[in-house]
Chain A
Protein backbone atom coordinates (compact mmCIF):
# COMPACT_ATOMS: atom_id res chain seq x y z
CA UNK A 1 0.00 0.00 0.00
CA UNK A 2 1.55 3.26 -1.07
CA UNK A 3 1.46 5.95 1.56
CA UNK A 4 -0.80 8.97 1.17
CA UNK A 5 1.50 11.10 3.25
CA UNK A 6 5.06 10.11 3.85
CA UNK A 7 7.75 11.92 5.77
CA UNK A 8 11.22 10.63 6.33
CA UNK A 9 14.14 12.23 8.09
CA UNK A 10 12.25 15.48 8.60
CA UNK A 11 14.07 18.18 10.54
CA UNK A 12 12.84 21.65 11.33
CA UNK A 13 15.06 24.37 12.70
CA UNK A 14 13.86 27.55 14.31
CA UNK A 15 16.38 30.27 13.69
CA UNK A 16 16.66 32.64 16.58
CA UNK A 17 18.48 35.88 16.74
CA UNK A 18 21.59 35.77 18.89
CA UNK A 19 21.17 32.10 19.73
CA UNK A 20 21.96 28.84 18.00
CA UNK A 21 19.20 27.45 15.79
CA UNK A 22 16.77 25.31 17.71
CA UNK A 23 16.06 21.96 16.15
CA UNK A 24 12.41 21.39 17.03
CA UNK A 25 12.07 18.29 14.91
CA UNK A 26 15.12 16.11 14.37
CA UNK A 27 14.85 13.41 11.75
CA UNK A 28 11.28 12.32 12.30
CA UNK A 29 9.54 9.70 10.15
CA UNK A 30 5.82 9.36 9.54
CA UNK A 31 3.62 7.58 7.10
CA UNK A 32 -0.11 7.62 6.64
CA UNK A 33 -2.37 5.60 4.38
CA UNK A 34 -5.79 6.49 3.02
CA UNK A 35 -8.59 5.87 5.47
CA UNK A 36 -6.15 5.76 8.34
CA UNK A 37 -5.97 7.89 11.48
CA UNK A 38 -2.51 8.40 12.86
CA UNK A 39 -2.32 9.78 16.38
CA UNK A 40 0.73 11.92 17.07
CA UNK A 41 1.35 12.35 20.78
CA UNK A 42 3.98 13.71 23.13
CA UNK A 43 4.54 16.35 25.79
CA UNK A 44 4.45 20.01 24.90
CA UNK A 45 7.65 21.04 23.20
CA UNK A 46 8.24 17.58 21.72
CA UNK A 47 7.82 18.96 18.21
CA UNK A 48 4.54 17.29 17.30
CA UNK A 49 2.86 20.51 16.19
CA UNK A 50 5.99 21.63 14.37
CA UNK A 51 6.11 18.33 12.52
CA UNK A 52 2.42 18.68 11.68
CA UNK A 53 2.93 22.15 10.26
CA UNK A 54 6.00 21.05 8.35
CA UNK A 55 4.21 18.20 6.58
CA UNK A 56 1.51 20.52 5.24
CA UNK A 57 4.21 22.93 4.09
CA UNK A 58 3.70 25.71 6.61
CA UNK A 59 7.30 25.48 7.75
CA UNK A 60 10.40 24.89 5.70
CA UNK A 61 11.83 21.50 6.59
CA UNK A 62 14.81 19.39 5.68
CA UNK A 63 14.18 15.79 4.71
CA UNK A 64 11.68 14.17 2.42
CA UNK A 65 7.95 14.87 2.68
CA UNK A 66 5.66 13.55 -0.03
CA UNK A 67 1.93 13.88 -0.38
CA UNK A 68 0.25 11.63 -2.93
CA UNK A 69 3.66 10.99 -4.42
CA UNK A 70 4.54 14.67 -4.90
CA UNK A 71 7.09 16.54 -2.83
CA UNK A 72 5.71 19.21 -0.53
CA UNK A 73 6.66 22.77 -1.41
CA UNK A 74 6.68 25.10 1.59
CA UNK A 75 4.02 27.76 1.37
CA UNK A 76 5.67 31.01 0.33
CA UNK A 77 4.51 34.16 -1.38
CA UNK A 78 3.16 32.20 -4.30
CA UNK A 79 -0.22 30.60 -4.34
CA UNK A 80 -0.31 26.97 -3.28
CA UNK A 81 -0.17 24.43 -6.09
CA UNK A 82 -3.64 23.04 -6.87
CA UNK A 83 -2.38 19.48 -6.33
CA UNK A 84 -1.57 20.34 -2.73
CA UNK A 85 -5.12 21.40 -1.90
CA UNK A 86 -5.88 17.83 -0.98
CA UNK A 87 -3.71 18.30 2.12
CA UNK A 88 -5.48 20.48 4.67
CA UNK A 89 -5.07 21.44 8.27
CA UNK A 90 -7.43 21.93 11.23
CA UNK A 91 -6.06 24.18 13.94
CA UNK A 92 -6.35 24.07 17.70
CA UNK A 93 -8.01 27.35 18.45
CA UNK A 94 -11.35 27.73 16.68
CA UNK A 95 -11.42 31.35 17.83
CA UNK A 96 -8.25 32.21 15.89
CA UNK A 97 -8.73 30.01 12.87
CA UNK A 98 -11.89 31.68 11.59
CA UNK A 99 -11.98 35.22 10.29
CA UNK A 100 -14.12 37.12 12.80
CA UNK A 101 -15.32 39.59 10.20
CA UNK A 102 -16.48 37.31 7.42
CA UNK A 103 -19.65 35.29 7.11
CA UNK A 104 -19.27 31.66 7.96
CA UNK A 105 -20.74 30.65 4.61
CA UNK A 106 -18.21 32.75 2.71
CA UNK A 107 -15.32 31.24 4.60
CA UNK A 108 -16.54 27.70 4.08
CA UNK A 109 -17.31 28.45 0.43
CA UNK A 110 -13.75 29.67 -0.21
CA UNK A 111 -12.57 26.17 -0.93
CA UNK A 112 -15.13 25.69 -3.70
CA UNK A 113 -14.62 29.20 -5.03
CA UNK A 114 -10.88 28.65 -5.28
CA UNK A 115 -11.57 25.31 -6.88
CA UNK A 116 -13.33 27.10 -9.72
CA UNK A 117 -16.97 27.12 -8.61
CA UNK A 118 -19.14 30.19 -9.08
CA UNK A 119 -19.94 32.28 -6.03
CA UNK A 120 -23.50 31.08 -5.96
CA UNK A 121 -22.51 27.48 -6.33
CA UNK A 122 -19.84 27.89 -3.63
CA UNK A 123 -22.37 29.35 -1.19
CA UNK A 124 -24.90 26.63 -1.88
CA UNK A 125 -22.40 23.85 -1.37
CA UNK A 126 -21.02 25.59 1.72
CA UNK A 127 -24.52 25.39 3.16
CA UNK A 128 -24.59 21.67 2.47
CA UNK A 129 -21.23 21.19 4.14
CA UNK A 130 -22.33 23.13 7.19
CA UNK A 131 -25.30 20.82 7.53
CA UNK A 132 -23.04 17.83 7.03
CA UNK A 133 -20.95 18.85 10.03
CA UNK A 134 -24.08 19.31 12.12
CA UNK A 135 -24.79 23.03 11.99
CA UNK A 136 -28.14 24.68 11.31
CA UNK A 137 -28.87 25.70 7.72
CA UNK A 138 -28.86 29.41 8.55
CA UNK A 139 -25.29 29.20 9.87
CA UNK A 140 -23.88 30.41 6.55
CA UNK A 141 -25.20 33.91 7.06
CA UNK A 142 -23.78 34.38 10.51
CA UNK A 143 -20.47 35.45 11.96
CA UNK A 144 -18.12 33.12 13.86
CA UNK A 145 -18.67 34.87 17.19
CA UNK A 146 -22.28 33.70 17.19
CA UNK A 147 -21.14 30.11 17.66
CA UNK A 148 -19.75 28.11 20.56
CA UNK A 149 -16.23 26.68 20.50
CA UNK A 150 -17.39 23.26 19.38
CA UNK A 151 -19.54 24.73 16.62
CA UNK A 152 -16.66 26.88 15.44
CA UNK A 153 -14.44 23.86 15.19
CA UNK A 154 -17.14 22.21 13.06
CA UNK A 155 -17.10 25.27 10.82
CA UNK A 156 -13.32 25.09 10.52
CA UNK A 157 -13.62 21.41 9.60
CA UNK A 158 -16.28 22.22 7.00
CA UNK A 159 -13.95 24.82 5.51
CA UNK A 160 -11.22 22.26 4.95
CA UNK A 161 -13.73 19.82 3.45
CA UNK A 162 -14.60 22.34 0.75
CA UNK A 163 -11.15 21.73 -0.70
CA UNK A 164 -12.14 18.05 -1.03
CA UNK A 165 -9.05 16.94 0.83
CA UNK A 166 -7.65 13.44 0.89
CA UNK A 167 -5.59 14.16 3.99
CA UNK A 168 -6.16 16.32 7.06
CA UNK A 169 -3.59 17.25 9.65
CA UNK A 170 -5.51 18.15 12.79
CA UNK A 171 -3.38 19.98 15.36
CA UNK A 172 -4.96 19.55 18.79
CA UNK A 173 -8.40 20.02 17.23
CA UNK A 174 -10.35 19.30 20.41
CA UNK A 175 -8.15 20.45 23.27
CA UNK A 176 -9.67 23.94 23.39
CA UNK A 177 -13.21 22.55 23.71
CA UNK A 178 -15.50 21.53 26.55
CA UNK A 179 -15.68 17.87 27.49
CA UNK A 180 -18.90 17.08 25.67
CA UNK A 181 -17.90 19.12 22.61
CA UNK A 182 -14.57 17.29 22.53
CA UNK A 183 -16.29 13.97 22.10
CA UNK A 184 -18.65 15.17 19.40
CA UNK A 185 -15.96 16.90 17.34
CA UNK A 186 -13.67 13.87 17.63
CA UNK A 187 -16.54 11.67 16.45
CA UNK A 188 -17.20 13.99 13.53
CA UNK A 189 -13.57 13.80 12.42
CA UNK A 190 -13.54 10.01 12.65
CA UNK A 191 -16.80 9.73 10.70
CA UNK A 192 -15.49 12.02 7.97
CA UNK A 193 -12.23 10.09 7.63
CA UNK A 194 -14.12 6.81 7.28
CA UNK A 195 -16.82 8.18 5.01
CA UNK A 196 -14.56 10.14 2.66
CA UNK A 197 -11.68 7.66 2.83
CA UNK A 198 -9.27 10.38 3.88
CA UNK A 199 -6.14 10.09 5.95
CA UNK A 200 -5.80 12.07 9.17
CA UNK A 201 -2.90 12.95 11.40
CA UNK A 202 -4.47 13.66 14.77
CA UNK A 203 -2.02 15.61 16.90
CA UNK A 204 -2.95 15.64 20.57
CA UNK A 205 -1.56 15.70 24.04
CA UNK A 206 -4.61 13.78 25.22
CA UNK A 207 -3.57 10.17 24.98
CA UNK A 208 -6.90 8.73 25.95
CA UNK A 209 -8.62 10.36 22.98
CA UNK A 210 -5.88 9.21 20.63
CA UNK A 211 -6.21 5.72 22.01
CA UNK A 212 -9.90 5.79 21.28
CA UNK A 213 -9.79 7.06 17.71
CA UNK A 214 -6.35 6.44 16.16
CA UNK A 215 -5.54 3.34 14.12
CA UNK A 216 -1.84 3.89 14.62
CA UNK A 217 -0.01 6.08 17.09
CA UNK A 218 3.36 7.76 16.91
CA UNK A 219 4.97 9.01 20.11
CA UNK A 220 7.38 11.92 19.92
CA UNK A 221 10.00 12.98 22.41
CA UNK A 222 12.33 15.95 21.95
CA UNK A 223 11.88 16.18 18.20
CA UNK A 224 12.11 12.45 17.47
CA UNK A 225 9.56 9.74 16.93
CA UNK A 226 10.49 7.24 19.62
CA UNK A 227 7.77 4.70 19.01
CA UNK A 228 5.10 4.03 16.41
CA UNK A 229 2.69 1.22 15.86
CA UNK A 230 -0.89 0.02 15.90
CA UNK A 231 -2.65 1.87 18.71
CA UNK A 232 -3.95 -1.05 20.68
CA UNK A 233 -0.65 -2.93 20.71
CA UNK A 234 1.32 0.18 21.48
CA UNK A 235 -1.01 0.90 24.34
CA UNK A 236 -1.19 -2.56 25.84
CA UNK A 237 2.51 -3.33 25.56
CA UNK A 238 4.54 -0.19 24.96
CA UNK A 239 7.97 -0.85 23.51
CA UNK A 240 9.56 2.40 24.62
CA UNK A 241 9.84 3.42 28.28
CA UNK A 242 8.66 6.92 27.41
CA UNK A 243 5.47 5.59 25.88
CA UNK A 244 4.84 3.62 29.01
CA UNK A 245 5.49 6.66 31.19
CA UNK A 246 3.02 8.74 29.17
CA UNK A 247 0.35 6.08 29.37
CA UNK A 248 0.66 5.56 33.10
CA UNK A 249 0.43 9.32 33.71
CA UNK A 250 -3.10 9.48 32.29
CA UNK A 251 -5.63 9.65 35.11
CA UNK A 252 -8.71 7.49 34.71
CA UNK A 253 -12.16 8.56 35.79
CA UNK A 254 -12.89 5.17 37.32
CA UNK A 255 -13.37 6.42 40.85
CA UNK A 256 -10.66 4.10 42.14
CA UNK A 257 -8.54 6.94 43.52
CA UNK A 258 -5.35 5.73 41.87
CA UNK A 259 -2.76 8.45 41.58
CA UNK A 260 -1.23 8.57 38.12
CA UNK A 261 2.44 7.71 37.86
CA UNK A 262 4.74 10.70 37.69
CA UNK A 263 7.54 10.93 35.16
CA UNK A 264 10.29 12.70 37.09
CA UNK A 265 12.20 15.59 35.59
CA UNK A 266 11.35 18.02 32.84
CA UNK A 267 11.65 17.84 29.10
CA UNK A 268 15.21 19.03 28.44
CA UNK A 269 15.91 22.16 26.43
CA UNK A 270 15.67 21.09 22.77
CA UNK A 271 18.55 23.43 21.97
CA UNK A 272 20.80 21.25 24.14
CA UNK A 273 19.49 17.70 23.93
CA UNK A 274 21.11 15.09 26.18
CA UNK A 275 23.82 12.89 24.75
CA UNK A 276 22.95 9.39 23.61
CA UNK A 277 19.31 8.47 23.93
CA UNK A 278 17.44 11.70 24.51
CA UNK A 279 15.20 10.09 27.08
CA UNK A 280 17.92 8.54 29.21
CA UNK A 281 18.03 11.18 31.98
CA UNK A 282 14.38 10.48 32.78
CA UNK A 283 14.28 6.83 31.85
CA UNK A 284 13.60 4.37 34.67
CA UNK A 285 15.22 1.59 32.62
CA UNK A 286 18.29 3.52 31.47
CA UNK A 287 21.52 1.54 31.14
CA UNK A 288 25.04 2.93 31.14
CA UNK A 289 25.30 2.82 27.33
CA UNK A 290 22.12 4.88 26.95
CA UNK A 291 23.99 8.08 27.74
CA UNK A 292 26.39 7.31 24.91
CA UNK A 293 24.52 5.57 22.11
CA UNK A 294 21.65 7.24 20.31
CA UNK A 295 19.29 4.42 19.34
CA UNK A 296 17.71 4.72 15.87
CA UNK A 297 14.04 4.06 15.26
CA UNK A 298 14.09 0.39 14.23
CA UNK A 299 11.29 -1.57 12.65
CA UNK A 300 10.06 -4.40 14.82
CA UNK A 301 7.48 -6.98 13.89
CA UNK A 302 3.75 -6.41 13.47
CA UNK A 303 4.04 -2.92 12.05
CA UNK A 304 5.69 -1.54 15.15
CA UNK A 305 8.84 0.46 15.50
CA UNK A 306 10.75 1.86 18.46
CA UNK A 307 13.94 3.73 19.24
CA UNK A 308 15.27 1.96 22.32
CA UNK A 309 18.24 -0.31 23.00
CA UNK A 310 15.84 -2.78 24.61
CA UNK A 311 14.24 -3.49 21.24
CA UNK A 312 15.85 -5.35 18.37
CA UNK A 313 15.10 -4.81 14.70
CA UNK A 314 12.92 -7.45 13.09
CA UNK A 315 11.86 -9.01 16.38
CA UNK A 316 8.53 -8.67 18.15
CA UNK A 317 8.37 -5.85 20.68
CA UNK A 318 9.88 -6.97 24.00
CA UNK A 319 7.79 -6.20 27.06
CA UNK A 320 9.44 -3.65 29.33
CA UNK A 321 10.63 -4.67 32.76
CA UNK A 322 8.54 -3.38 35.59
CA UNK A 323 10.52 -0.73 37.39
CA UNK A 324 7.80 1.60 38.52
CA UNK A 325 4.81 0.56 40.51
CA UNK A 326 1.39 2.04 40.52
CA UNK A 327 1.09 3.53 43.93
CA UNK A 328 -2.39 3.05 45.23
CA UNK A 329 -3.92 5.65 47.43
CA UNK A 330 -3.58 4.94 51.11
CA UNK A 331 -6.73 4.96 53.13
CA UNK A 332 -6.85 8.18 55.11
Chain B
Protein backbone atom coordinates (compact mmCIF):
# COMPACT_ATOMS: atom_id res chain seq x y z
CA UNK B 1 0.00 0.00 0.00
CA UNK B 2 2.75 2.39 -0.75
CA UNK B 3 0.98 4.06 -3.63
CA UNK B 4 -1.08 6.83 -2.25
CA UNK B 5 -4.51 6.91 -3.73
CA UNK B 6 -4.78 10.66 -3.82
CA UNK B 7 -3.88 13.01 -6.63
CA UNK B 8 -0.24 12.46 -7.31
CA UNK B 9 2.21 15.29 -7.19
CA UNK B 10 1.91 17.52 -10.19
CA UNK B 11 5.23 16.47 -11.54
CA UNK B 12 5.09 18.79 -14.52
CA UNK B 13 5.57 21.80 -12.37
CA UNK B 14 7.43 19.94 -9.73
CA UNK B 15 10.93 21.25 -9.16
CA UNK B 16 12.11 17.75 -8.30
CA UNK B 17 11.26 16.53 -11.79
CA UNK B 18 13.95 18.83 -13.09
CA UNK B 19 16.39 17.91 -10.39
CA UNK B 20 18.55 15.70 -12.64
CA UNK B 21 19.52 18.92 -14.41
CA UNK B 22 21.14 20.00 -11.24
CA UNK B 23 23.63 17.21 -11.73
CA UNK B 24 26.93 18.86 -12.58
CA UNK B 25 27.91 16.40 -15.31
CA UNK B 26 24.70 17.01 -17.21
CA UNK B 27 25.29 20.74 -16.98
CA UNK B 28 28.86 20.40 -18.21
CA UNK B 29 27.68 18.19 -21.06
CA UNK B 30 24.89 20.55 -22.04
CA UNK B 31 27.29 23.51 -21.89
CA UNK B 32 29.73 21.76 -24.21
CA UNK B 33 26.99 20.87 -26.68
CA UNK B 34 25.75 24.46 -26.77
CA UNK B 35 29.31 25.65 -27.14
CA UNK B 36 30.00 23.34 -30.06
CA UNK B 37 26.76 24.23 -31.81
CA UNK B 38 27.65 27.92 -31.48
CA UNK B 39 31.15 27.26 -32.77
CA UNK B 40 29.77 25.40 -35.78
CA UNK B 41 27.29 28.16 -36.55
CA UNK B 42 29.76 30.99 -36.09
CA UNK B 43 32.81 29.28 -37.54
CA UNK B 44 33.54 31.95 -40.18
CA UNK B 45 33.50 34.62 -37.48
CA UNK B 46 35.54 32.69 -34.94
CA UNK B 47 38.21 31.15 -37.10
CA UNK B 48 41.29 33.33 -37.67
CA UNK B 49 41.82 31.77 -41.12
CA UNK B 50 40.01 29.66 -43.69
CA UNK B 51 40.25 25.88 -43.14
CA UNK B 52 42.27 25.34 -46.28
CA UNK B 53 44.43 28.50 -46.22
CA UNK B 54 48.12 27.62 -46.31
CA UNK B 55 49.39 30.99 -45.14
CA UNK B 56 51.97 30.01 -42.56
CA UNK B 57 55.10 27.95 -42.18
CA UNK B 58 54.58 24.22 -41.66
CA UNK B 59 54.28 22.59 -38.25
CA UNK B 60 54.65 25.68 -36.08
CA UNK B 61 54.29 25.11 -32.36
CA UNK B 62 51.29 26.71 -30.61
CA UNK B 63 51.96 30.41 -30.10
CA UNK B 64 50.07 33.65 -29.73
CA UNK B 65 49.82 33.83 -33.50
CA UNK B 66 48.60 30.24 -33.96
CA UNK B 67 47.01 29.18 -30.71
CA UNK B 68 46.91 25.50 -31.74
CA UNK B 69 49.98 25.69 -34.01
CA UNK B 70 50.00 24.81 -37.72
CA UNK B 71 49.89 21.49 -39.53
CA UNK B 72 52.13 19.79 -42.07
CA UNK B 73 50.80 22.03 -44.88
CA UNK B 74 51.05 25.27 -42.90
CA UNK B 75 47.30 25.51 -42.14
CA UNK B 76 46.12 26.98 -38.85
CA UNK B 77 45.01 24.03 -36.64
CA UNK B 78 42.62 26.20 -34.62
CA UNK B 79 40.81 27.29 -37.76
CA UNK B 80 40.60 23.74 -39.06
CA UNK B 81 39.29 22.49 -35.73
CA UNK B 82 36.62 25.17 -35.74
CA UNK B 83 35.54 24.44 -39.31
CA UNK B 84 35.70 20.73 -38.51
CA UNK B 85 32.70 21.16 -36.24
CA UNK B 86 30.70 22.12 -39.32
CA UNK B 87 31.39 18.70 -40.75
CA UNK B 88 31.10 16.34 -37.80
CA UNK B 89 28.18 17.77 -35.86
CA UNK B 90 25.54 18.19 -38.59
CA UNK B 91 26.44 14.85 -40.12
CA UNK B 92 26.25 13.15 -36.74
CA UNK B 93 22.84 14.63 -36.06
CA UNK B 94 21.62 13.73 -39.51
CA UNK B 95 22.76 10.16 -39.46
CA UNK B 96 21.46 9.58 -35.95
CA UNK B 97 18.11 10.92 -37.08
CA UNK B 98 18.13 8.57 -40.06
CA UNK B 99 19.14 5.60 -37.98
CA UNK B 100 16.53 6.39 -35.34
CA UNK B 101 13.71 6.76 -37.85
CA UNK B 102 14.63 3.65 -39.82
CA UNK B 103 15.18 1.62 -36.67
CA UNK B 104 11.96 2.82 -35.05
CA UNK B 105 9.85 1.99 -38.06
CA UNK B 106 11.41 -1.45 -38.42
CA UNK B 107 11.18 -2.15 -34.70
CA UNK B 108 7.63 -0.84 -34.49
CA UNK B 109 6.46 -3.04 -37.32
CA UNK B 110 8.27 -6.07 -35.94
CA UNK B 111 6.93 -5.56 -32.44
CA UNK B 112 3.38 -4.79 -33.37
CA UNK B 113 2.80 -7.47 -35.95
CA UNK B 114 4.98 -10.19 -34.49
CA UNK B 115 5.06 -13.58 -36.16
CA UNK B 116 7.13 -14.02 -39.31
CA UNK B 117 7.38 -10.26 -39.90
CA UNK B 118 9.07 -9.92 -36.55
CA UNK B 119 11.27 -12.95 -37.21
CA UNK B 120 12.52 -11.69 -40.56
CA UNK B 121 13.21 -8.12 -39.47
CA UNK B 122 14.90 -9.11 -36.27
CA UNK B 123 17.14 -11.68 -37.94
CA UNK B 124 18.27 -8.90 -40.25
CA UNK B 125 19.05 -6.76 -37.22
CA UNK B 126 20.89 -9.67 -35.61
CA UNK B 127 22.95 -10.04 -38.77
CA UNK B 128 24.17 -6.47 -38.41
CA UNK B 129 24.70 -6.92 -34.69
CA UNK B 130 26.84 -9.96 -35.31
CA UNK B 131 29.69 -7.80 -36.64
CA UNK B 132 31.62 -5.26 -34.62
CA UNK B 133 30.24 -1.89 -35.70
CA UNK B 134 33.47 -0.31 -36.87
CA UNK B 135 34.46 -3.36 -38.93
CA UNK B 136 31.10 -3.52 -40.69
CA UNK B 137 31.14 0.23 -41.27
CA UNK B 138 34.65 -0.10 -42.74
CA UNK B 139 33.46 -2.87 -45.03
CA UNK B 140 30.45 -0.85 -46.19
CA UNK B 141 32.45 2.33 -46.66
CA UNK B 142 35.21 0.50 -48.50
CA UNK B 143 32.69 -1.21 -50.75
CA UNK B 144 30.95 2.05 -51.60
CA UNK B 145 34.18 3.94 -52.08
CA UNK B 146 36.03 6.26 -49.70
CA UNK B 147 33.80 9.31 -49.52
CA UNK B 148 32.30 11.20 -46.60
CA UNK B 149 28.78 10.48 -47.88
CA UNK B 150 29.46 6.76 -47.97
CA UNK B 151 30.95 6.85 -44.51
CA UNK B 152 27.69 8.42 -43.26
CA UNK B 153 25.71 5.69 -45.00
CA UNK B 154 27.94 3.06 -43.45
CA UNK B 155 27.34 4.43 -39.97
CA UNK B 156 23.57 4.49 -40.56
CA UNK B 157 23.74 0.87 -41.67
CA UNK B 158 25.42 -0.20 -38.44
CA UNK B 159 23.34 2.05 -36.15
CA UNK B 160 19.70 1.35 -36.97
CA UNK B 161 19.45 -2.14 -35.45
CA UNK B 162 19.87 -0.94 -31.89
CA UNK B 163 16.88 1.40 -32.38
CA UNK B 164 14.91 -1.41 -33.95
CA UNK B 165 15.56 -3.61 -30.94
CA UNK B 166 14.74 -0.92 -28.44
CA UNK B 167 11.50 0.06 -30.16
CA UNK B 168 10.46 -3.53 -30.69
CA UNK B 169 10.91 -4.22 -27.00
CA UNK B 170 8.91 -1.14 -26.05
CA UNK B 171 6.14 -1.98 -28.49
CA UNK B 172 6.01 -5.57 -27.30
CA UNK B 173 5.61 -4.52 -23.70
CA UNK B 174 3.07 -1.83 -24.50
CA UNK B 175 1.17 -3.78 -27.14
CA UNK B 176 -0.64 -5.93 -24.61
CA UNK B 177 -1.03 -3.19 -22.06
CA UNK B 178 -4.59 -2.50 -21.13
CA UNK B 179 -4.69 0.98 -22.54
CA UNK B 180 -3.67 -0.28 -25.96
CA UNK B 181 -6.24 -3.06 -25.73
CA UNK B 182 -8.86 -0.51 -24.72
CA UNK B 183 -7.96 1.65 -27.68
CA UNK B 184 -8.21 -1.33 -30.04
CA UNK B 185 -11.60 -2.15 -28.59
CA UNK B 186 -12.73 1.35 -29.48
CA UNK B 187 -11.91 0.50 -33.09
CA UNK B 188 -8.43 1.94 -33.41
CA UNK B 189 -6.43 0.47 -36.30
CA UNK B 190 -2.96 -0.94 -35.81
CA UNK B 191 -1.28 2.06 -37.40
CA UNK B 192 -3.26 4.55 -35.36
CA UNK B 193 -2.53 2.63 -32.17
CA UNK B 194 1.15 2.79 -32.96
CA UNK B 195 1.17 6.45 -33.83
CA UNK B 196 -1.16 7.68 -31.12
CA UNK B 197 -0.83 5.32 -28.19
CA UNK B 198 2.62 3.88 -28.53
CA UNK B 199 4.57 6.81 -29.96
CA UNK B 200 4.64 8.87 -26.75
CA UNK B 201 5.97 5.89 -24.84
CA UNK B 202 8.63 5.19 -27.43
CA UNK B 203 9.75 8.75 -28.09
CA UNK B 204 11.48 9.17 -24.72
CA UNK B 205 13.72 6.11 -24.78
CA UNK B 206 14.54 6.66 -28.46
CA UNK B 207 15.52 10.24 -27.69
CA UNK B 208 17.81 9.03 -24.93
CA UNK B 209 19.41 6.48 -27.17
CA UNK B 210 19.82 9.08 -29.90
CA UNK B 211 21.47 11.51 -27.52
CA UNK B 212 23.91 8.83 -26.44
CA UNK B 213 24.38 7.85 -30.05
CA UNK B 214 25.39 11.27 -31.36
CA UNK B 215 28.67 10.84 -29.56
CA UNK B 216 29.11 7.37 -31.04
CA UNK B 217 28.32 8.67 -34.49
CA UNK B 218 30.95 11.39 -34.21
CA UNK B 219 33.41 8.76 -33.07
CA UNK B 220 32.55 6.32 -35.86
CA UNK B 221 32.65 8.99 -38.55
CA UNK B 222 35.97 10.27 -37.29
CA UNK B 223 37.20 6.73 -37.07
CA UNK B 224 36.35 6.06 -40.69
CA UNK B 225 37.97 9.31 -41.75
CA UNK B 226 40.99 8.45 -39.64
CA UNK B 227 41.26 5.22 -41.60
CA UNK B 228 40.96 7.09 -44.84
CA UNK B 229 37.45 5.78 -45.58
CA UNK B 230 35.58 8.99 -44.84
CA UNK B 231 36.40 12.61 -45.44
CA UNK B 232 39.20 13.00 -47.97
CA UNK B 233 41.98 15.57 -47.87
CA UNK B 234 42.07 18.48 -47.79
CA UNK B 235 38.68 18.61 -45.98
CA UNK B 236 38.89 19.80 -42.37
CA UNK B 237 37.45 16.77 -40.61
CA UNK B 238 38.48 15.86 -37.08
CA UNK B 239 39.15 12.20 -37.75
CA UNK B 240 41.22 12.94 -40.81
CA UNK B 241 43.10 15.59 -38.81
CA UNK B 242 43.88 13.08 -36.08
CA UNK B 243 45.21 10.83 -38.81
CA UNK B 244 47.47 13.63 -39.98
CA UNK B 245 48.54 14.04 -36.37
CA UNK B 246 49.42 10.37 -36.22
CA UNK B 247 51.62 10.79 -39.24
CA UNK B 248 53.38 13.65 -37.47
CA UNK B 249 53.33 12.09 -34.05
CA UNK B 250 56.32 14.08 -32.82
CA UNK B 251 54.29 17.30 -33.36
CA UNK B 252 51.73 16.70 -30.62
CA UNK B 253 49.49 19.70 -31.42
CA UNK B 254 48.54 18.44 -34.88
CA UNK B 255 46.62 15.44 -33.56
CA UNK B 256 45.88 16.45 -29.97
CA UNK B 257 43.47 19.33 -30.61
CA UNK B 258 41.16 17.57 -33.07
CA UNK B 259 41.30 14.57 -30.74
CA UNK B 260 40.21 16.76 -27.83
CA UNK B 261 37.31 18.02 -29.93
CA UNK B 262 36.10 14.47 -30.54
CA UNK B 263 36.54 13.65 -26.87
CA UNK B 264 34.54 16.63 -25.62
CA UNK B 265 31.68 16.09 -28.07
CA UNK B 266 31.43 12.38 -27.28
CA UNK B 267 31.58 12.93 -23.52
CA UNK B 268 29.11 15.78 -23.63
CA UNK B 269 26.47 13.73 -25.44
CA UNK B 270 27.05 10.80 -23.10
CA UNK B 271 26.55 12.93 -20.02
CA UNK B 272 23.39 14.47 -21.37
CA UNK B 273 22.06 11.14 -22.62
CA UNK B 274 22.61 9.45 -19.26
CA UNK B 275 20.80 12.21 -17.47
CA UNK B 276 17.95 12.17 -19.94
CA UNK B 277 17.59 8.47 -19.39
CA UNK B 278 17.33 8.90 -15.65
CA UNK B 279 14.84 11.70 -16.04
CA UNK B 280 12.64 9.85 -18.52
CA UNK B 281 12.74 6.40 -16.98
CA UNK B 282 9.59 6.28 -14.85
CA UNK B 283 11.33 4.09 -12.30
CA UNK B 284 14.32 6.28 -11.62
CA UNK B 285 12.25 9.42 -12.10
CA UNK B 286 9.90 8.19 -9.40
CA UNK B 287 12.83 7.42 -7.16
CA UNK B 288 14.12 10.92 -7.66
CA UNK B 289 10.72 12.39 -6.91
CA UNK B 290 10.39 10.20 -3.80
Contact = CB atoms under 8 A, between A and B. Distances in A.
A79 B187 contact: yes
B182 A91 contact: yes
B178 A163 contact: no
B6 interface: yes
Contacts of B3: 95
A96 B197 CA distance: 13
Given A97-B178, A102-B197, A79 B5 contact: no
Contact of B10 (A146, A160, A181): A146
A98 B179 contact: yes
Contact of B197 (A77, A99, A160, A181): A99
B188 interface: yes
Contacts of B184: 75, 79-80
Contact of B183 (A100, A110, A148): A110
Given A79-B190, A148-B7, A149-B5, A96 B179 contact: yes
A177 to B, nearest CB: 8
A319 B177 CA distance: 45
Given A93-B178, A97-B178, A102-B200, A114 B186 contact: yes
A56 B185 contact: yes
Given A97-B178, A98-B179, A110-B183, A150 B197 contact: no
B186 A159 contact: yes
A171 B11 CA distance: 30
Contact of B7 (A56, A99, A147): A147
Given A97-B179, A150-B5, A145 B186 contact: no
B187 A85 contact: yes
Interface in B193-228: 196-197, 200-201
Contacts of B183: 99, 107, 110
Given A58-B185, A80-B186, 19 more contacts: A58-B181, A75-B181, A79-B184, A79-B190, A80-B188, A84-B187, A85-B185, A85-B187, A89-B181, A89-B182, A89-B185, A97-B178, A97-B179, A99-B200, A102-B196, A107-B183, A114-B186, A146-B8, A162-B186
For the complex of A and B, 3 pairs with smallest distance between CB atoms: A101-B200, A97-B178, A79-B189
Interface of B: 3, 5-8, 10-12, 113, 177-190, 192, 196-197, 200-201, 282
